[in-house]
A and B are shown apart, each in its own frame.
Chain A
């Protein structure tokens, strides 16, 4: 699958905006999201993070501007060919009545085999790999809806991995996870990105997790792109205060020396 991952698989946003009647949810944004990096999307509630990620995932139509993915307008992509390239995990994970974990993960293979195509050995290998990578193999035969919140989140993440995409759009994928699993999942995402060259755009609320695992951070406030840079560039008291609207302090991690931020 690495052949298809040319350097072009990037999102280009041109004057992209979203408004609901008069209210502007996203001010026109021009930017490029390059492939092969983990990009963290940060900002307060209601700053437009989920809207942006939904538009990129084609879950919502923008009201102005345009997006190109891989040089092609987003609308021009076929449903299945887009689903082979880009996977999206919504903030609110839907209920999956009567579905086993392995069946949920198997849904990730749909863009490859379609409605009637044969389910091959390769498909089932991908599914097993995805479940192993996210550590849900032990629950493979359990109903998704009886799992704990964290297990469920990982099961859905496994579905995206089985989808074998080159871009992951994750809307708060670790919100229900305990600390250990947060680190596990983010390490996994990091690892996938660096090993397979995946592009990742990830909404995170924990600024320290974001700084630790992302190559780059993008900050939104009231629908405006207000900062973009490496974690070291963003992790400054004045910038963080600007993003979150409360005084923030930045210090060095006692062991790693990385910048760590706490609210004052």
Chain B
């Protein structure tokens, strides 16, 4: 019966030709804009000749032939490739928020380019494409080889991909902070530019895209089956790992070629398949056709619009604008998504749980004491290492205590927020930054900076809070219609986050002298803390974590689905709204202190689950303690390792936590 209802969902028939309609709606205006651009160069009767054989020496026909046309074609190809890649990713990983970058392709390439930019410029001279492709390949091979022993299960791939992404991003950001020259050019590359000077990129991408698309259509049946449950895949006589690896290899290759050709173009790969689904492409085969078309349309239109807008004497990177245009489109169409049409791969559910969680909690709590004490008493001065012991610690406290306790509070809050969000969404890829709240806070400050305001620390804090509140209000506004259904909220949050992050990237790539400061802040640093602020942070953290603990019964019921939630008499809207609000305030607290620190919020809850924490209460507490310890340690290491230079704690947390996480995951498989 439920099948009958799903089939009759009010939108499906209405939008049955939705894929074609949306593609046309995106491609038609971009073609018109292209014609307008051409018309400005030369009269229509000369177009054909300019396309086929430009007159040497005639500037306009050369511009049309070597700049305008290849740019349109590359936008089409890149959009199509990313749409196809994203459709395969979402199918095989069984996660609606998977995208071409999920397994480390983009950040791998990004890190390789960063190394080239800052350390080994001769690499880049040899060829940017090759460097990017190599980086992408190494990162992906890393993720694959790690997931191999778990038969490439979606959850293992996703988690390994997250760690590789965060680690590569952290190393690249660290390089950027240490060598600020070239930062703007790196961010510019990362924002993706479709500017062309010849047909080489088209000739590079076209055959590869055609080949991979052909391969994809050959294995369309195994790929369709790969989106089902593990048992069903086996039951149909297919090896789950082989089906996944075939699909993912194609998807990764598509993404890798795109990255090496034009840099990182985000969002299209996430949005195109999702938009295809939203306009009614229910079957995987339909999505394979329409996701590339929608992706191509999205990117072509964006790029045509980009070339119209002039932003401070330079052109906006297409990758950034795609995010800024595409995110609202996604949010507008989201209400059309059919309920229950997703089959999300389940989060890691411990089969061997810890029988004595309280012992583990006690161990975590008491190991915080030496960590905090060492962070307070051991440090480097002008004359080398300096250990104050118990007695001489006092004069140093005003300097060190704010940072240590601020880090403690922030780490705890972000980890707790991540735990809440992962529990209510049931999505392993969900983290506090995915509500867009952190990025919202930073974005408002950045926008004001771009508008030419100078911002002192006090005003910065105030604007951050304003940005956070505004973002949360936006989130609630869009989530209200679906009764704050968590899957929708997550998608809305991601869309908001991507758009805001794009604005921040735009600022950093603008070459503004304050860019470094913003990057520092975004990377997670305790540098700006005062004593008063740290005590406030600790108090807030305490109150909020108690508040989160009071939600524990809801946190147990909410993952069981709407039928059960209603049956036991939990108010759906009230409970979801409360958990979201607490998570949002926790995130805001963490962001205000150390900036949006992705790793801790994302990974601390997974770590707690992996050491066997099962119940809501123990999971939440353990994640909080792990987060707090991790950030204090990272902050201390970040201050010590390159003394007198500093590395932001957020980056260190990723670099320490990443390998530890992979080790935990591996141990679990043994």
Contact = CB atoms under 8 A, between A and B. Distances in A.
Interface in A102-149: 103, 107-108, 110-111, 114-116, 143, 145-146
B462 interface: no
B1 A107 contact: no
B1 A50 contact: yes
B565 to A, nearest CB: 9
Interface string A26-50: 0000000000000000000110111
Contacts of B17: none
Interface stretch (B306-314, B360-368, B553-561): B553-561
B372 to A, nearest CB: 31
A21 interface: yes
B351 interface: yes
A95 B348 CA distance: 13
Interface in A72-101: 79-84, 87-92, 94-100
Interface stretch (A5-13, A51-59, A245-253): A51-59
A59 B351 contact: no
Interface residues of A, number: 46
A58 B350 CA distance: 33
A79 B570 contact: yes
Given A50-B2, A115-B554, A145-B349, A94 B569 contact: no
Given A21-B8, A92-B2, A59 B566 contact: yes
A51 B347 CA distance: 30
Contacts of B575: 115
Contacts of A25: 1, 4-5
Contacts of A95: 346
B563 interface: yes
Nearest to B352: A143
A193 interface: no
B528 to A, nearest CB: 37
Given A21-B10, A97-B346, A97-B559, A84 B554 contact: no
B550 interface: yes
Given A83-B567, A110-B570, A45 B349 contact: no
A264 B553 CA distance: 52
B556 A94 contact: no
A107 B556 contact: yes
Nearest to B578: A115
B571 interface: yes
A20 interface: yes
B353 A143 contact: yes
Contact of A79 (B5, B561, B569, B609): B569
B560 A46 contact: no
B556 A57 contact: no
B642 interface: no
Contacts of B551: 115
B483 to A, nearest CB: 12
A61 to B, nearest CB: 12
Nearest to A115: B553
A114 B568 CA distance: 10
Contacts of B350: 98
Contacts of A99: 556, 560, 614
B181 interface: no
Contacts, number: 101
Contacts of B554: 115
A116 B566 contact: no
Interface string B558-598: 01111110111111000100000000000000000000000
Nearest to B569: A83
B1 to A, nearest CB: 4
A94 B570 contact: no
B561 A82 contact: no
A110 B563 contact: no
B563 A59 contact: yes
Given A88-B563, A97-B346, A103 B351 contact: no
B21 to A, nearest CB: 20
Contacts of B570: 79, 110, 115
A153 B5 CA distance: 24
A48 B351 CA distance: 38
A195 to B, nearest CB: 23
B615 interface: yes
B566 A110 contact: no
B550 A108 contact: no
B351 A146 contact: yes
B571 A79 contact: yes
B1 A94 contact: no
A163 B568 contact: yes
B348 to A, nearest CB: 8
Given A20-B10, A21-B8, A111 B347 contact: no
A83 B568 contact: yes
A48 B1 CA distance: 7
B622 to A, nearest CB: 13
A72 to B, nearest CB: 16
Nearest to B573: A79
Contacts of A108: 568
B550 A96 contact: no
Contacts of B564: 90, 94, 107
The 8 closest A-B pairs by CB, nearest first: A83-B569, A97-B349, A111-B569, A80-B569, A50-B1, A94-B561, A110-B568, A90-B563
7 contacts: A20-B8, A21-B10, A48-B1, A88-B563, A88-B566, A98-B353, A143-B353
Interface of B: 1-2, 4-5, 8, 10, 346-347, 349-351, 353, 426, 550-551, 553-554, 556-557, 559-564, 566-571, 575, 609, 614-615
Given A49-B1, A94-B564, 20 more contacts: A23-B8, A50-B2, A51-B1, A57-B566, A59-B562, A79-B566, A83-B566, A83-B569, A89-B567, A97-B347, A97-B559, A98-B353, A98-B615, A99-B556, A110-B569, A110-B570, A111-B568, A116-B553, A143-B353, A159-B568
